[in-house]
Chains A and B, each alone.
Chain A
Amino acid sequence: MLGGLNSFYLLVDKPEVYGLPPDPKMPSRNLTSSSMYAMLGAVMVGLIGVFSFRDRGGRERGEARL
């Protein structure tokens, strides 16, 4: 059962007989989770960027001591 399609199909046999999937899913179910993963990616890239550019001072001081 899929909501929001504004269509109703009455099948008198299993969906597979008609070439239809037995367990259909709405792709829009991915909207929230996919958006969250994109945000997670931005946060991870942002953190790697901040540490890469901010860490330089410490790294250079460490190398100078060697």
Chain B
Amino acid sequence: MNGVPSSTWFTTAPHWDWLIVLYFFIGGLAGGCYFLAALIDLFGHREDRPLARLGYYIAFPCVLLSGFLLTVDLSRPLRFWHMLIERNTFEPMFKYWSPMSVGSWALLIFGFFSFLSFMGALAEDDDFPLPALRRFRFSAFRATQPRSVLGRIIAVLGGLAGFYIAGYTGVLLAVTNRPIWSDTPLLSLLFVISAASTSAALMMLLAHRSGWTMPGIASLQRMDGWVLALELLVLIAVMVSLGPVIRGWLNAWGVLLLFGVVILGLIVPLFLSWGHRQMNDFNVTATAALVLLGGFLLRVVVIFSSEAI
């Protein structure tokens, strides 16, 4: 082991596979979309309200899917509740020092807030496109929307929980004894920013495909441009902070990181976003699709490149 660049080079991998990659990506979308929706609700304009509802509509199904992916990934899925309840005493299983334990509780809490906001958005949306869900439009949930004090509290708490879901996966990697993951504390920062860029891209794409023209879409697009630029800087900072451990990316994963994430997922969308003042149909679709692809590939590279060592 002489000359190895990291003290974690000799440890065994946790064997996280595609289910975890998907969870990291979809969990990021859930947290990011809710975070953006709450931001729009609290600081945006009244005409941007459909955009905020769109964020809530994305967040809740993504949370459900996230919980499903994590449960299926367990070797014994029926024991998923052991992450939350101590099986002998039936007391809460909470370890504040463990990102995995806190993350399990955060997912439950975020699921609660995203459910409230989803139902609230549904209750006030007269144009909801799925007839099957219209029967669940209960007026009592209108109180959960940010026009009321209760609604603002829910948006703030749900937004904080959403941010936690988007970022704790990076903290989890940083405290896991594996090369690359525990060799930089910046993965959490990268994941939070990537969750914001992919969420903004998804909301922009769906709003555009729905034919919406409210000014908030341009704001979302402007925001995504700045977040993408920030993400590029943070990714460079991650590479620098890895030091000699970066040799773990001097292989096919590094090529995928360079071409799939940096060029296709960040630089090309930045060019499309900043190079064209008026975005046409192709530009919006291509920008959003590339950002989403780049965000997914980022998680693929980060997880599998360490697993491969």
Chain A interface residues toward B at CB < 8 A: 16, 19-21, 23-25, 27-28, 30-31, 33-35, 37-42, 44-46, 48-50, 52-57, 60
Contact = CB atoms under 8 A, between A and B. Distances in A.
A42 to B, nearest CB: 4
B187 A34 contact: yes
Interface in B148-182: 163, 166-168, 170-171, 174-178, 181-182
A61 B188 CA distance: 38
Contacts of A21: 1, 4, 6-10
Interface string B36-48: 1001100111001
B223 A38 contact: no
Q: Kindly state the interface size class of chain B when it binds its partner.
A: 35 or more
Nearest to B192: A41
Given A38-B189, A48-B223, A52-B223, A30 B167 contact: no
B1 A38 contact: no
B170 A34 contact: yes
5 contacts: A21-B1, A37-B188, A46-B39, A52-B226, A53-B45
Nearest to A18: B1
B7 A24 contact: yes
Interface string B208-224: 00000001101110110
B1 A54 contact: no
Given A30-B185, A38-B167, 20 more contacts: A20-B1, A20-B10, A25-B182, A31-B97, A37-B170, A37-B189, A38-B189, A41-B193, A42-B35, A42-B163, A44-B230, A46-B35, A48-B226, A50-B43, A53-B216, A54-B44, A55-B219, A56-B45, A56-B216, A57-B45
B108 to A, nearest CB: 19
Contacts of A41: 167, 188-193, 234
Contact of A45 (B9, B168, B188, B193): B193
A30 B6 CA distance: 14
The 10 closest A-B pairs by CB, nearest first: A41-B192, A38-B167, A27-B182, A52-B223, A38-B188, A21-B7, A30-B174, A34-B174, A37-B189, A33-B185
A27 B176 contact: yes
Contacts of A40: 189
B39 A19 contact: no
B297 interface: no
B30 interface: no
Contacts of A55: 219
A46 B8 CA distance: 34
